Structure 1
Amino acid sequence: MTSNSRPDGGTRSFDCCVVGAGPIGLTCALEAAEAGLTVLLIDAGSNSSGRRDITERAEGPDIIVDPDRHAPIEHVTRRGIGGTSWLWGGRCVTFEPIDLEHRDFVPDSQWPITIDDIRPYEAAAADYLDCGKARFRTDAADWAGLGDFEMSQLERWSRQPKVAARLGRRVGEHPGITVLLKSPVIDIQFGPEGAVRSLVIDDKGEHRQVHASNYVIAMGGLETTRLLLTIQRSNPTLFDGAGGSLGRYYMGHATGSVADIVLTEPESARDMNFHRESDGTYLRRRFTLTEEAQRREEILNTSFYLDNPPFYEVDHRNATLSLVYLGLLIPPIGRRILAEGIRLRHIGTRPWRIGAHVANVLRQPWRAAVDVLDVLRHRYLSTVRKPGFVLRNESGRYALHYHAEQIPNGESRLSLLPGAGGSRLSIDYRYTDQDIDSIVRSHELLDEQLRAAGLGRIEYLANTPEGVRAGIWEQAIDGFHSIGTTRMSAKPGDGVVDAECRVHGSSNLYIASSSVFRTAGEANPTFVAACLAVRLARHLAHQASTLSAATAIPAVGFPATP
């Protein structure tokens, strides 16, 4: 049941209140309702497409300390049903055991859970995110000779990554879920001994209370952290205490391309292209570092995959790439093709060399037209969205794209800007030399083993090692993957939530977000965050089943106490 008004009379009680209607909040709410809990789902946004439904603060915009490192806020956040899935490409990747284990060369890396605490929830998460079977390994053989790299790890892709149409509809139609939109949470009221008594929402300028047995904050990493920092301002002992871990260890990933891979057998590129399974979902193999190589070399988890040369380059002389580039260059067209942050990466910086791209198109206009129509058919007009396209070429040369882990860094952080009131963020997002060194060494290992096995080689775009490092630094920007700012820990004083995602010191406040991750791994965070959301919902359902029926608590409708 979806409603923009308050539930009637203030007499109904809810077992669980979930704040945030993005992919993680929707997953948590639906799993809890399927387990028999009554759920109230709240979001500050609307039921619209979400493309323009962004948070605008009356007191002014957030401040990004280094705009070269963090994407603009409007490129990484959305409110309303579907949340940031309106910006999501749909890539679903799970963690590997090492990602949650202690590593001497990764500070503060030990999680209070293991991979075995995530695996049982992968099937449900795959269903909610619509990425097919929860199968992230292939039986296909690795290429012989790549001892430090595996090719068996799979990335899966959501059939339709904008989850509002499917997952949002399932939530809206569920009889056990009530949805309140345009209702931003502005406060959390605590009772004695840390239990949450109510949330305070803004209902068209009037403050009202929301009551439930348990509360789950699932607003995304930035907005969840903003809310907790705002509350901590007047309650300094909450959330690991002022000066603790809240807002710190802000991580994402380093991603980009500083080299081409040249394959000895051009047809072998087929092994690394997108493949469609019988259920319609797409998957792709990648080069990923083995656990043994990571520990021996003391490098961070990193994956590589084949890609087209950058669209903005003209030297590829590919008519199709240049035609796509020209389309991306026109904002109204490009923004319908790609999320704005990704579009800007693909068009590069001035000068745009439009004439040279037009000349590329004119070399093979019919080939470009056929390829673009094929892309439109499979990526935008099909009921199953093809995640991308890699154009084969006879030279066996492809861009080699990396996706790499960051170390937890306490100086990379979110904090509130000084001043009374307001909740503007200062976003000080940082990479370290260790992050960059790890990417460099991962390239070196792959090049060494490709050459030794006679499979190919890596050719860097820069002529010197210093130029390669500079290229990695230049592409080091994120903000799309909000990780680490409410980190999980075995005990208070080292994090914000415990192994069950419950806020330390509170009996009924939980966080469902990639912000609870203690390390980033190389995987995009959405899938693992969904696994933890399913796990949390089942924990709440089990907890409810073991407790005696509680006295009904008023749901919504009372003015907030001062």
Structure 2
Amino acid sequence: MLEYAKLYPEKKILFVEYGHKGQKPTNQLDDTIKIDNLTNHHEPYECTNKGLGGSSATWGGRCVMYDEVDFIDRPAVNGGCTWDRSLFNEVKQFLQATCDYFECGESIFDLDDSNEFKGTRITENFKVGVVTDTAIERWSMPTRFGARYEQEILNNANITLLQGYEAREFAEPDITGRVSSVKLRSTTTYEVKEIKAEKIVLAAGTQESTRILLRNKQLFSLLPQPPAALGKYYQGHVSGKIASVKFNGDPKKTEYSFLRDKDGVYLRRRFQFDTQYLVNNNLLNTAMWLDNPLYHDPQHRSGAMSLMYLAMITPILGKKLLPPAIAHSITKGTVKGVNKHIWNVIKQFPGSVLTPATIFYKRFLLKRKLPGIFLYSGQNRYALHFHAEQTPEEYNRMELGADGEQLNIHYTLSDKDVSSVIELHDALDKWLRKNNCGQLEYWYEKNELPNAIRGVSRDGIHQSGTTRIADSPDKGVVDSDLKLFGTSNVYVCSSSVFPTSGQANPTFFLGAFAVRLAHHLTN
């Protein structure tokens, strides 16, 4: 919206937001979502936020690029790759503008493209090949986009912000595909307003963009039938920890935490896998990174970790420190060994207090905040966090309930999702051993790994796939310009348009699509 306003200052923009100042802790939308698998999917209130800035209100700030392999149709994605490399290359043109909005520095996502860090390695003896260590995540400074950009929106004379309204009913497209109006309903008084617009962009997040389209199938009246893909192929990520990595070299030469570039932006390495290796071996795109041991297990014997774990499980304090979904990924919702954690704190006092105090200062009191907490291991042993692509499966879907209001979410992990994670752990282990760099230490027996992955992985916060991009309504819901099939002026700007989930969380790449859409709308 801000990019469009800069490019087209003579146009008037109405920005409609469901949330509003003084809203209640609960809302009708999240109250009418039913999820059939809460083992692998977070509760509705942990997945999204209503209000200016949307889900950035609880976003951690990690900016990650999608990869070329995500745009290659491979057997691993069951024919679900309905976008292509030409689109990927086009979107790259808008990366620097996106980085500027995210305030995450240069649009460089591989250290070999950086003059500062080119040729450096994550640890001694590591070599790039089947496995790479040069892919990075960049960290945004504004992780609350509502607060960051509210004043700029309010100060723009051409933007009208209407809060506390939801899109309910779209006019049927005319013979040219033009949709002339949409009815908005107040979330408090249920008053209905009809607004007319030259162009309409639906940017309500995956769940609500999908629900709105499912409820407004008249938008597809010029097509033989509504797109069959609408609401289907829902994806997130398979994520968790099943192993540690033990490096052979000097622990002091292992990059276990963040780098900072010349602009002070935090960066972090990720293990990823060569594109051709993934294609040849029919594996799903996956990233892995060094992490702390499980916080809830006092056997880590870290006084600092124990103190932070105790803080996170403290009811009021824990909610202030981290969003619920992120806190759960660290504590696993487990309260155990409290006395042993206290003993860890006592044994390592005062370091067990000073280290968290320093982290607290960097994480909460500085303008560019420390994005996360990673602690040094003198043993050169770190937990390994995996973050893996899901296969686009038709049975993972969103559909309306009989009342036309409730949104039912069906979500599970496929056998391929699980087996690919295991095979790529083995690939990393073999690569490290081959180069005398280190090895993996699994936390479970080999036959226990599938159930372990199904038990630890929980997503629903990285939603994609349900209004996917394709070259025709037979395969998807929007075209490569994000225009809704069957219309000439309705667009969907949500990660729901991403046909494959890749290894990356979708926030940054969606930002690039938003900038690109702003430029397209001015044509």
Alpha-carbon displacement from aligned partner over 1:255-281 (angstroms, at most 9, x marks no partner): 111001111124366434211223222
Which residue pairs with 1:548 in the alignment?
A: none
Counterparts of 1:388 and 1:191, CA distance in 2: 48
Deviates more, 1:268-277 or 1:429-438: 268-277
Q: CA deviation at 1:348?
A: 2.8
The aligned residue for residue 22 of structure 1 is: none
Shifted more, 130-139 versus 476-485: the winner is 130-139
1:464-516 CA distances to partner (integer Å, 9 max, x unpaired)? 11212221111222110110000001012211100100000100000001000
Relative distance call for 1:381 and 1:241 in structure 2 (3 A) is: farther
CA contact (8 A) 2:257 2:375 kept: no
Give the equivalent residue in structure 1 for 2:155: 173
Say which SS state the counterpart of residue 273 (structure 1) adopts.
coil
My pick for the range that moved more, 385-394 or 315-324, is 385-394
Partner of 2:453: 472
Once the two structures are superposed, what CA deviation does each residue of 1:390-425 show, in whole Å capped at 9, x if it has no partner? 111210111101111011111100001123xx4111
- 2:369 counterpart of 1:385: yes
Report the equivalent of 1:442: 424
CA offset digits 1:328-365 (Å, max 9, x no partner): 01121111111112212322355511101101111112
Do the aligned partners of 1:301 and 1:522 also contact (CA within 8 Å) in 2? yes
Aligned counterpart, 2:19: 45
CA distances 1:68-99 after superposition (whole Å, capped 9, x unpaired): 12100000111111111111111101112121
TM-score by length of 1: 0.87
The alignment status of 1:506 with 2:476, answered yes or no, reads: no
Partner of 1:312: 296
Distance, in Å, in 2 between the alignment partners of 1:241 and 1:335 is: 46
Q: Are the structure 2 counterparts of residues 208 and 303 from structure 1 closer, same or farther at C-alpha, using a change threshold of 3 Å?
A: same
Q: State the match for 1:211 in structure 2.
A: 196
The corresponding residue for 1:18 is: none
Q: Check the 8 A contact 2:206/2:463 in 1, yes or no.
A: yes
1:111 aligns to what? 83
Q: 1:413-446: CA deviations, max 9, x gaps?
A: 0001123xx4111110121000111100000000
Give the match for residue 130 of structure 2: 148
Provide the C-alpha distance between the structure 2 equivalents of 1:516 and 1:54, rounded to a whole number of angstroms.
27
Structure 2: which amino acid aligns with 1:384? R
Give runs of aligned pairs for residues 388-399 of structure 1, distance below 5 A: 388-399=372-383
Shift in CA distance, 268/293, structure 1 to aligned 2, threshold 3 Å: farther
Q: Name 2:354's counterpart in structure 1.
A: 370
1:66 aligns with 2:37: yes
**Overall identity of the aligned pairs, in %:** 32
Matched, 1:353 2:340: no
Deviation at 1:240, TM superposition (A): 8.5
Give the aligned residue type for 2:303: A
SS in 2 for 1:379: helix
Q: Give the conservation status (yes or no) of the 8 Å contact 1:109–1:518.
A: yes
Q: Does the aligned pair in 2 maintain the 1:406–1:520 contact within 8 Å?
A: yes
- What is residue 115 of structure 2 aligned with on the other side? none
Residue 298 of structure 1, CA deviation? 1.1
2: CA distance between counterparts of 1:236 and 1:510? 13
1:159 aligns with 2:141: yes
Instruction: Tell me if structure 1 keeps the 8 A contact 2:53–2:144.
Output: yes
247 and 69 in structure 1: CA distance in 2 versus 1, 3 angstrom threshold: same
Amino acid at match of 2:298: V
- Normalised by the length of structure 2, the TM-score is 0.93
Aligned length: 507
Distance, in Å, in 2 between the alignment partners of 1:269 and 1:411 is: 46
| CA offset digits 1:142-188 (Å, max 9, x no partner) | 55444211111110011131112223332222232111111111111
Residues 32 and 406 of structure 2 are in contact (CA less than 8 Å); yes or no, is this contact kept in structure 1? Answer: yes
Q: 1:79 to 1:241 in 2, by over 3 A?
A: farther
Residue 485 of structure 1: SS of its match in structure 2?
A: coil
| Aligned with residue 452 of structure 1, among 415, 434, 447 | 434
Looking at structure 1, the residues matched to 223 and 203 of structure 2 have their Cα atoms a distance apart, in angstroms, of: 16
Q: Is the 8 A contact 1:101 1:114 kept in 2?
A: no
CA distance in structure 2 between the partners assigned to 1:413 and 1:447 by the alignment? 35
1:489 aligns with 2:461: no
- Does the C-alpha gap of structure 1 residues 262 and 144 become closer, same or farther in structure 2, counting only changes over 3 Å? closer
Cα deviation for residue 55 of structure 1 reads 3.2
Q: Secondary structure at the match of 1:524?
A: coil
- Contact 1:240–1:492 (Cα < 8 Å) also in 2: no
1:518 aligned partner: 499
Where does residue 31 of structure 1 map in the other structure? 3
Structure 1's 97 and 134: CA in aligned 2 closer, same or farther, altered over 3 A?
same
Q: Secondary structure at the match of 1:389?
A: coil
**CA apart distance, 1:137:** 1.2
100-109 or 248-257: bigger deviation: 100-109
Q: Alpha-carbon deviation of 1:190?
A: 2.1
Q: Which residue of 2 aligns with 1:342?
A: 326
- Give, in whole Å, the separation in 1 of the partners of 2:519 and 2:333: 48
Task: Tell me, yes or no, if structure 1 residue 285 matches structure 2 residue 269.
Answer: yes
1:249 aligns with 2:230: no
Whole-angstrom distance in 2 between the partners of 1:468 and 1:499:
39
CA deviations over 1:210-269 (Å, ceiling 9, x no partner): 11110000000001001111122x677588945711100000111111001111124366
Contact 2:199–2:489 under 8 Å retained in 1: yes
**What's the Cα RMSD here?**
1.9
| Distance change in 2, residues 1:162/1:238 (3 Å) | farther
CA distance in 1, matches of 2:304, 2:279: 42
Change (3 A) 1:53 1:275: farther
Of 82, 90, 94, 2:65 maps to: 94
Contiguous gaps of at least 5 residues in structure 2:
113-117
Q: Which residue of the other structure, out of 34, 43, 46, is the alignment partner of 1:75?
A: 46
Kindly tell me: are residues 220 and 57 of structure 1, through their superposed partners in 2, closer, same or farther at Cα, counting changes over 3 Å? closer
Using the TM superposition, name which of 102-111 and 503-512 deviates more.
102-111
Structure 1 residue ranges without an equivalent (≥5): 1-28, 543-562
